[in-house]
Amino acid sequence: MKNFFFTLCFVVALVLNAAAQTGPANPAVDKTSSSVSRLMMQSIGLNESEYIRVKALNQERLTKAAEVAKMYGSDAEMRDARLSEIESGFEAELFKILNSRQVEAYSEFKTKPEGNFLSMVQQVTKTGKN
């Protein structure tokens, strides 16, 4: 019985440790991705399943963007090129999730200030520096 109890405690500790490590390293990324995903849900008309997938994509996109902004802080040309690659990859994955009506709505959403990728990156990197 003792062995079972200790094994169970060990497994629980491993699971909790793994769960803690999967969280975002930058709280600004989590906050911004959640906020943008909610706005996208309202503007584009996402259902719950789509929202979850889009939120994960947004989190991945903003995490990569924060790394690029930090890495290429002094090289604006390289930073902008990498951010453009990240955005293209994001949109390719996003368009696999959305239907044609939602793609059109996303194109409209991107033109709004809250849908602008570069302002999201600035928000994440500015908050991350504090």
> Do 117 and 32 contact (CB within 8 A), yes or no?
no
Give me the sign of the Cα torsion angle 114, 117, 123, 128: positive
Q: Looking at residue 130, what is its pLDDT?
A: 44
CA distance 99 to 46: 10
CA distance 52 to 97: 11
Contacts 24+ apart (CB under 8 A), 70-78: 70/125, 70/128
Q: Looking at residue 11, what is its pLDDT?
A: 60
User: What averages of pLDDT result for each successive group of 10 residues across the chain (130 residues)?
Assistant: 64 60 69 91 94 95 91 90 94 95 94 86 67
Cα separations (Å) of 105 from 47, 71, 90? 14, 33, 16
